[in-house]
Structure 1
Amino acid sequence: MFRNREFRTFFISLSVIAIGTISIAASLSREAFIMAVVSSLLFIAVTVLFTRWRYSEIKKLSGYLRQISSGNYTLDVRDNFEGELSILKSEIYKVTRKLSEQGAHLRTDKIELTKGLSDISHQLKTPLTSMLVMVDLLSDADLPEAERKEFTGNIRQQLKRIEWLVSSLLKLSKIDAGTVSFKKDRILVKDLVNKALEAVLVPIDIKEQHINIQGGGTMGFEGDMNWTAEALINLLKNAVEHTDEQGKITILWDENVLYTEIRVADHGEGIAREDLPYIFKRFYKGKNASEDSVGIGLAMAYSIVTNQGGDLQVKSDLGKGTEFLLKFYKQV
């Protein structure tokens, strides 16, 4: 305790004041001298004892902090008293709880990262293995021209799949990291739908599907046109994929005082009820998912919409079709 320079200074100052008080009391009377000596000694003793107690409490807190730094977040240092040390203990406990929560989040993130890497590895392994086999076959000089063209086309298709997967994962990682700055522009739903439809016109034409569009030309919301179009494209791709040839896909929108809503409905095979709670989960593939599906598109659409303060819901019945509902809430 006396190694502390601040305490030494305080103790010396206190002693000087006590000596001065005793000297003045001695010049007055013997009784005043005795009272001054006793009072000064008691005051100094109480000060020293109180300071030692504070030092012991601070020492305990230092021990708690060492345990916390080593990863023990179960300590509860709070007490039910008032005072500076109690406030400090309460703040240390709050920090401990935050560290504990952050540690739990980090462990969860590591588990999710491991699962994600495993899923990505699995998704890349299949097309890469297929391409390696076809490349070996293409090295055969006696391979018929028709088969060579078929293998070349398959390799091109697998490369496009890998390119789409990597591009989607990069977009998702940007959204997860919070590095995407979503714009707040005025978007007309009519323009958004037209922009999204351009990306799926070819598969729609190949399958001779019919698009039913209903909605007002002046309805809109505030958001990012490019990113929201990306979300809508993924929903339309899902609808086209699960709708039969010459089937119908409906896109309609409406608005009220609270939000603007966009509905994308198909009359395809639908989604099983047990799959519905997980349909927006990354890399999740439902029972009716195609072999080429990787479970990225719907997860990306959900992330884009919700990160703009919107909401994305799904309704589906097996054999009747699926409807996705996007809601973009109006700013007050």
Structure 2
Amino acid sequence: MIRVGIVGAGIWGRMHARAYAQNPLVELVAICDLDLHRAHELAGKYGASQVFRSIDAMLELPLDGISVVTPDNAHTEIVIKAARKGIHVLVEKPLATTLEECHAMIEAAETAGVYLMVDWHNRWNPPFYYAWKSIQAGELGDVRYIYHRLSDTTYVPTQMLPWASQSSVMWFLGSHALDTTCWLMGKKPTQVFCQKRKGVLTKLGVDTPDLYITQVSFEGGALAVIENAWILPQESPTLIDHKCEILGEKGAIYLDPTHHRMYAQYSAQTSRGFPRPAYPDMIITPEIYEKQMGFAVESIAHFVDCIKNHTPPLATGQDGLLNTRLILAAEQSAETGLAVTLD
């Protein structure tokens, strides 16, 4: 059995707990969280035998892997300590909010010989995986342009994330969109130009930008435009608006993972949007007969398989480093009004 622990018992920490608890290869051993009541609640529900408030105490256990599911700026110390104990690490995106922290985590994992995987779960998102396969097979020829939109309703920054003012839609969603776009493009990014706007969320009591529009240039002249917003109306039929258009020399692919209308319900219960949207999630984290399904489970299962089979993960610390570099370049561009050339 692969023995794992989870650091962070919040919304997505619960997702990791469900994924591990139903995986026959895994023993969920421990939950660590600053809120012991929340940690005990999660451990009790999913069968973890031990609960900790201290990461140092948890890392004294004989663990094979841990999930780090803490806020964006609280990954580095945990990852480095786990790596030095010889424990493989799955860390939520972004890897870190500074390049120095990314380098430190990568170095710690490489020195210890453990895996450092970033949970870029859209690489397991079926429509995006099919698009990636088609690109890899050469069916589109040379990819010249990608448009990628990934946005949320105001529910996320105003109700779901109590720490939204300490983050941004760029770190929360832009990180996913940038990683998926680079993965699909398969080329080195060379330049970033970004604009952001602020005002709507500030009036709602959340001091963070409303939206970012980011243009990324790649080697060979390819372009990508990435749109991320946190101000879709609460009444929207789905919590997430996710779209992608890929144009190549020989063809095009259009993706709509959220407004696919596999299921649409119009009633009093769905008129106010999430958590009862008209178009409920069918592919990210649906539950079927109380079992957690969806591609978000698959990326976590991949981490387990990597430990079991001694195979490197498909989403690495180096991918996390590139992602943080792109986000920091986008922020610099948005502040200065100038394009940022990447080294």
Same fold (TM over 0.5): no
Q: Which has the higher helix share?
A: 1
Q: Which has the higher strand share?
A: 2
Of structures 1 and 2, the one with the larger relative CO (CA 8 A, separation 6+) is 2
Q: Report which of the two structures shows the higher radius of gyration computed on alpha carbons.
A: 1
